[in-house]
């Protein structure tokens, strides 16, 4: 067997271990969180999510380098807007953000027994995607929830970015929501998650997971008054510029560390 074949074999074995640990920890966390879910104790559920994320990072060897934690907005609802590199982003958010937040998810997921119930109990926000009119109505409903006090995380790319870490085009739905909710926006930049969990390669039977470092930069919050005169398209371009600006430095730092 060639060196590359040996390396691929051990990478696959390690990934199987990580997936087994991930599933076990998730099941245990889910069982322990059931009482909080039944009584809709959202803060307790978020604390469980924090412990879940930290535990997974420890077992998988994921090191998080977070910059700007002191900038986290905690005085009222906030919309966190971030680039998206892999599913590891979710673990990183739970591990770093101690501020309770919700995710936006496809409305169909809320119909799945237990899983969907847990999402609803945690205060996650359903969004319709199949029908344009329903999608807009669900965005307005989500904006009302945020305005009423529910912080939310949005990945405006809609899917993971490119394999090299660069960002895809932003969709404007999240910025329509922000304009209607009129709350603080906090941009966040993530880099390194795509190396920890790269896109699944053809011919591989399991999604690979590797130990590594994920960098996160929490940018200064943007007050609602600061973007009041911007259109959703202008706001999208403005936030994209903020998120994209440190990516080159993050990539260079990761490359230097790998040498």
- Domain range annotation of the chain: 3-258
Please state the pTM of the whole predicted model.
0.92
Structural contact between residues 102 and 123, judged by C-beta atoms closer than 8 angstroms? yes
The vertex-153 CA angle with 147 and 157, nearest 5°, equals 120
Q: What is the pLDDT of residues 188-223, one digit of tens each?
A: 999 999 999 987 766 667 788 889 999 999 999 999
The H-assigned helical ranges of 39-172 are 42-60, 88-96, 115-121, 132-147
Q: Residues with Cβ < 8 Å from 107, sequence gap 6 or more?
A: 126, 127, 128, 129, 138
Residue 3: what pLDDT? 60
Query: Dmax of the chain from CA atoms?
Result: 62
Query: Is domain 3-258 annotated with CATH 3.40.1130?
Result: yes
Q: Do residues 79 and 41 touch, judged by C-beta distance below 8 A? A: no
Element (H, E) at 105: strand 102-106
Q: Is the per-residue pLDDT at 1 higher than 60?
A: no
What are 101-111's pLDDT values in tens digits? 999 888 888 88
């Amino acid at each position: 067997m060639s060196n590359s074949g040996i390396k691929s074999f051990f990478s696959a074995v390690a990934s199987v271990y990580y997936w087994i640990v991930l599933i076990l920890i998730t099941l245990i966390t889910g069982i322990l969180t059931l009482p909080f879910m039944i009584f809709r104790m959202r803060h307790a559920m978020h604390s469980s999510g924090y412990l879940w994320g930290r535990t997974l990072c420890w077992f998988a060897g994921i090191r998080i380098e977070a910059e700007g934690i002191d900038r986290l907005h905690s005085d009222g609802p906030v919309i966190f807007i971030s680039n998206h590199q892999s599913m590891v982003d979710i673990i990183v958010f739970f591990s770093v953000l101690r501020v309770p937040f919700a995710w936006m998810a496809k409305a169909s997921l809320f119909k799945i027994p237990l899983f969907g119930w847990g999402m609803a109990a945690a205060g996650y926000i359903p969004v319709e995607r199949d029908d344009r009119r329903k999608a807009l109505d669900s965005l307005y409903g989500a904006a009302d929830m945020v305005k009423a006090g529910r912080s939310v995380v949005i990945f405006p790319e809609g899917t993971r970015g490119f394999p090299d870490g660069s960002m895809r085009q932003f969709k404007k739905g999240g910025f329509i929501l922000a304009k209607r909710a009129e709350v603080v926006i906090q941009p966040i930049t993530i880099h390194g998650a795509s190396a920890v969990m790269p896109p699944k390669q053809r011919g591989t039977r399991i999604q690979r997971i590797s130990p590594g470092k994920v960098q996160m930069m929490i940018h200064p919050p943007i007050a609602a008054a600061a973007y009041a005169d911007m259109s959703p398209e202008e706001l999208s371009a403005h936030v994209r510029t903020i998120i994209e600006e440190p990516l080159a430095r993050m990539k260079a730092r990761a490359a230097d560390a790998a040498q």
